[in-house]
């Protein structure tokens, strides 16, 4: 009963830890533990595990003292053999049970694939699949095709421009011929990627090959591979949307003999589990991606963990491609130095790259403004040279692909989204400088949001228009004075849309490195955060950023920030690599 004059203290309970970095959901997890009788120490640990999950870790690494305290909460914390408690301790890792079950399931299904083999046609002649003049540069690609022929799981990894898609095409052609020789029919092939844009790029890359690229006896295999269905993994698996889960699973598996997943570094733990569960035992799975790039937005670093586990004794299931075909020779040493974490080699590469790799010390808004002005002026010169600011005739659109390519030659990449050093602020600054000049030259309304040359990034998949999250469009003026947004059309001609009918979008002159994964540009500027030890600065982030450049690289940031990025690899806490290794050990 409330007594007259009684006072209440509504200050939050801090006993389970109110660290500033905890999110609302992390605090809710801690409150749930307390409300159901858990100890304050366990509540604090649960909140930290939830925070770690939000950062992409599969588990929270804990020391022995914490471990001894946690194990006293036996009704809350189990081990690998238990199946009811909400938390699991395995070694020095503290798991949310969901992540633990996902990790164990993935390791188990990968193990089954690693132990399964198909009959390889040792008489299969790969002559004609590769350019005989390629020599040692193609040795890794040829080896990849030979390894993959009898594997239920094969991983192809390598940096940008190392020929991953070229290898996948030939791998699928050889596997298709091999399958047909044993089963008297062509294999059913499904091509997928975690995002719509990545799936579209994969399909386009495979279909860019022509019959003239191969001898006559390989052309039927080429046409069969190019007829394979391409789509996002979520669509392939039959995502149930907001209801959660997928329609394809072990009870309703995918009807496929070969499944290829490109940009596999974007796979998270739960999505990989869903994919593996939906594969028939005899289906071959090929994972393709750059294991040194940024990890997925979701939980886990599955491609990196798998590659680490397969190196060595299980190397027959893995091939690394190292020879870069597209990146300029001056930029390759920079990419490799960052990949292996050698700051000294990176600085030496900068010095020898001359004008193709320029480092500018940008740490203040005024220094940034000077670089942005010069960068914007260079874009304007490109636009004028290619007449992007002039009207185009939609009926004669054969030259539109050249305009789209010219507008995408330069790209500014950054780590942050907000503030003057973030993508939103950078786009605003660039548009402020570009739009008046382009509006006045084209005769469009001054101060209007849309103008010829405006680049935009679609931010949500839209089935009605066929535009995907990540698609980049270019605004052009038609001969009747209307502004329309043009997008590359894949196998068909570029498509144009009224600017008022577009799905959600944002300017694309600057974008975060995450948004640029899987893309390459002739000239790239990479802006590092002004704080040298910013938590987003990691070796994987920096490697992903600089390796987008094919011809020229501009680094905007302090020496300290560059050094910090190279010296600090992002290592997500996970037990997946260890579980895979344990499974494949004799």
Whether residue 270 lies inside any domain: the answer is yes
Instruction: Determine the pLDDT at residue 585.
Output: 61
Look at 265-269, 441-445, 517-521, 538-542 and tell me which has the smallest mean pLDDT.
441-445
Burial of 14 (0-12, 13-18, 19+ CB in 10 A): exposed
Whether residue 482 lies inside any domain: the answer is yes
Pairing label, strands 472-477, 455-458: antiparallel
Residues paired with residue 93 on neighbouring β-strands, in sequence order: 61, 90
Asked if residue 87 and residue 143 are part of one domain, the reply reads: no
Whether residue 483 lies inside any domain: the answer is yes
Q: Between 583 and 461, whose confidence is greater?
A: 461
Does 165 appear as a known binding residue?
yes
Instruction: Determine the pLDDT at residue 534.
Output: 93
Instruction: Determine the pLDDT at residue 1.
Output: 44
Q: Between 48 and 243, whose confidence is greater?
A: 48
Asked if residue 354 and residue 253 are part of one domain, the reply reads: no
Asked if residue 204 and residue 58 are part of one domain, the reply reads: no
Instruction: Determine the pLDDT at residue 394.
Output: 78
3-state SS record for 359-405: EECCCCHHHHHHHHHHHHHHHHHHHHHCCCCCCECHHHHHHHHHHHH
pTM: 0.87
Looking at 305, 326, 347, which one is the last position of a domain? 326
CATH number where 305 lies:
3.40.50.300
Whether pLDDT at 299 is above 80? yes
Asked if residue 427 and residue 373 are part of one domain, the reply reads: yes
Look at 389-393, 413-417, 529-533, 540-544 and tell me which has the smallest mean pLDDT.
389-393
Whether residue 583 lies inside any domain: the answer is no
Instruction: Determine the pLDDT at residue 10.
Output: 39
Burial of 155 (0-12, 13-18, 19+ CB in 10 A): buried
Looking at 300, 326, 352, which one is the last position of a domain? 326
**Token couple for 445:** 């309304």
Whether pLDDT at 36 is above 70? yes
**Look-up of token digits 């068909």:** 492
Asked if residue 292 and residue 260 are part of one domain, the reply reads: yes
Instruction: Determine the pLDDT at residue 71.
Output: 64
Average pLDDT score over residue span 114-135: 71
Does 544 appear as a known binding residue?
no
Instruction: Determine the pLDDT at residue 245.
Output: 87
DSSP 201-226: HHHHHHHT--GGGS-GGGHHHHHHHH
Whether pLDDT at 175 is above 70? yes
Whether residue 428 lies inside any domain: the answer is yes
Instruction: Determine the pLDDT at residue 132.
Output: 67
Helix (H/G/I), strand (E/B), else coil: 63: coil
Whether pLDDT at 429 is above 60? yes
Whether pLDDT at 236 is above 80? yes
- What is the widest separation between alpha-carbon atoms in the chain? 96
* Cα–Cα dist 481/98, whole Å: 56
Strand arrangement, sheet containing 77-78: 60-61, 93-96, 87-90, 77-78
Instruction: Determine the pLDDT at residue 466.
Output: 83
Q: Please report which confidence band the pLDDT of residue 18 belongs to, taking 50, 70 and 90 as the band edges.
A: very low
Asked if residue 402 and residue 502 are part of one domain, the reply reads: yes
Asked if residue 345 and residue 287 are part of one domain, the reply reads: no
Looking at 273, 304, 326, which one is the last position of a domain? 326
Within 93-240, strands assigned E span 93-96, 153-158, 189-193, 229-232
Asked if residue 273 and residue 176 are part of one domain, the reply reads: yes
Residue % of the chain over a pLDDT of 90: 60
Average pLDDT score over residue span 380-401: 88
Instruction: Determine the pLDDT at residue 310.
Output: 92
Total count of domains within the chain: 3
Whether residue 36 lies inside any domain: the answer is yes
Does 162 appear as a known binding residue?
yes
Instruction: Determine the pLDDT at residue 301.
Output: 92
Does 128 appear as a known binding residue?
no
Per DSSP, the chain holds a count of helices (H) and strands (E) of 20, 20
Average pLDDT score over residue span 154-169: 92
Instruction: Determine the pLDDT at residue 586.
Output: 54
Does 244 appear as a known binding residue?
no
Does 161 appear as a known binding residue?
yes
Asked if residue 280 and residue 200 are part of one domain, the reply reads: yes
Asked if residue 268 and residue 201 are part of one domain, the reply reads: yes
Does 470 appear as a known binding residue?
no
**Look-up of token digits 């007449």:** 387
Whether residue 439 lies inside any domain: the answer is yes
**Token couple for 465:** 């228009």
Asked if residue 400 and residue 278 are part of one domain, the reply reads: no
pLDDT tens digits, 194-218: 988 788 888 888 988 999 889 998 9
Instruction: Determine the pLDDT at residue 20.
Output: 59
Task: Kindly report the average pLDDT of the chain as a whole number.
Answer: 88
Instruction: Determine the pLDDT at residue 7.
Output: 47
Q: Please report which confidence band the pLDDT of residue 561 belongs to, taking 50, 70 and 90 as the band edges.
A: very high
Look at 50-59, 328-337, 392-401 and tell me which has the smallest mean pLDDT.
392-401
Q: Give the structural domain span for 287.
A: 108-115+130-326
Q: Please report which confidence band the pLDDT of residue 314 belongs to, taking 50, 70 and 90 as the band edges.
A: low
Residue % of the chain over a pLDDT of 70: 91
Whether residue 124 lies inside any domain: the answer is no
pLDDT tens digits, 245-281: 899 999 999 999 999 999 999 999 999 999 999 999 9
pLDDT tens digits, 463-513: 788 888 888 999 999 988 899 999 986 656 888 999 999 999 999 999 999
pLDDT tens digits, 1-17: 445 554 434 344 544 44
Closest CA to 570 of 345, 415, 418: 415
Asked if residue 526 and residue 473 are part of one domain, the reply reads: yes
Closest CA to 456 of 439, 431, 477: 431
Instruction: Determine the pLDDT at residue 24.
Output: 92
């Amino acid at each position: 009963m409330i007594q007259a004059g009684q006072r209440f203290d509504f200050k939050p309970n801090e006993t389970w830890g109110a660290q500033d970095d905890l999110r609302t959901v992390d605090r809710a997890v801690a409150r749930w533990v307390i409300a159901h009788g858990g100890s304050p120490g366990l509540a604090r640990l649960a909140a930290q595990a939830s925070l770690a999950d939000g950062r992409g870790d599969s588990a929270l690494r804990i020391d022995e003292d914490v471990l001894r305290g946690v194990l006293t909460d036996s009704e809350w914390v189990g081990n690998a053999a238990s199946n009811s408690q909400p938390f699991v301790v395995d070694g020095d890792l503290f798991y949310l049970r969901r992540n633990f079950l996902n990790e164990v399931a993935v390791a188990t299904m990968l193990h089954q694939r690693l132990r399964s083999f198909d009959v390889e046609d040792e008489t299969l002649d790969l002559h004609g699949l590769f350019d005989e003049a390629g020599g040692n540069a193609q040795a890794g690609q040829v080896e990849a095709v030979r390894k993959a022929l009898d594997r239920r799981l094969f991983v192809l990894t390598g940096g940008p421009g190392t020929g991953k898609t070229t290898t996948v095409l030939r791998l699928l052609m050889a596997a298709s011929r091999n399958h047909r020789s044993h089963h008297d029919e062509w294999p059913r092939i499904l091509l997928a990627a975690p995002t719509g844009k990545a799936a579209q790029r994969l399909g386009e890359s495979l279909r860019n090959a022509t019959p003239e690229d191969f001898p006559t006896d390989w052309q039927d295999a080429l046409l069969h591979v190019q007829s394979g269905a391409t789509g996002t993994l979520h669509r392939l698996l039959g995502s149930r949307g907001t209801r959660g889960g997928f329609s394809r699973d072990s009870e309703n598996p995918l009807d496929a003999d070969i499944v290829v997943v490109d940009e596999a570094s974007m796979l998270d733990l739960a999505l990989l589990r869903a994919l593996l569960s939906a594969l028939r035992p005899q289906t071959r799975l090929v994972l393709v991606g750059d294991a040194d790039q940024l990890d997925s937005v979701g939980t886990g670093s599955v491609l990196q963990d798998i590659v680490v586990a397969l190196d060595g004794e299980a190397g027959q299931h893995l091939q690394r491609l190292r020879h870069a075909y597209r990146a300029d020779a001056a930029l390759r040493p920079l990419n490799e130095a960052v990949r292996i974490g050698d700051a000294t080699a990176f600085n030496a590469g900068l010095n020898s790259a001359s004008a193709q790799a320029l480092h500018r010390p940008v740490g203040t808004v005024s220094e940034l403004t000077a670089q942005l002005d010069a960068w914007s002026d260079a874009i304007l010169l490109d636009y004028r040279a290619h007449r992007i600011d002039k009207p185009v005739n939609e009926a004669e659109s054969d030259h539109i692909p050249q305009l789209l390519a010219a507008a995408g030659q330069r790209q500014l990449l950054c780590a942050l989204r907000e503030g003057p050093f973030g993508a939103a602020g950078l786009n605003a600054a660039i548009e402020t400088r570009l739009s008046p000049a382009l509006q006045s030259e084209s005769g469009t309304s001054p101060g209007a949001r849309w103008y010829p040359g405006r680049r935009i990034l679609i931010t949500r998949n839209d089935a009605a228009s066929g535009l995907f999250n990540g698609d980049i469009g270019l605004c052009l003026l038609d001969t009747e004075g209307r502004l329309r947004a043009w997008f590359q059309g894949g196998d068909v001609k570029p498509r144009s849309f009224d600017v008022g009918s577009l799905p959600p979008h944002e300017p694309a002159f600057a974008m975060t490195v995450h948004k640029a994964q899987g893309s390459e540009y002739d000239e790239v500027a990479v802006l590092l955060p002004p704080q040298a030890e910013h938590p987003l600065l990691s070796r994987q982030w920096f490697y992903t950023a600089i390796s987008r450049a094919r011809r020229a690289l501009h680094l905007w940031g302090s020496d300290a920030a560059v050094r910090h990025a190279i010296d600090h690899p992002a290592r997500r806490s996970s037990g997946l690599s260890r579980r895979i290794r344990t499974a494949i050990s004799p």
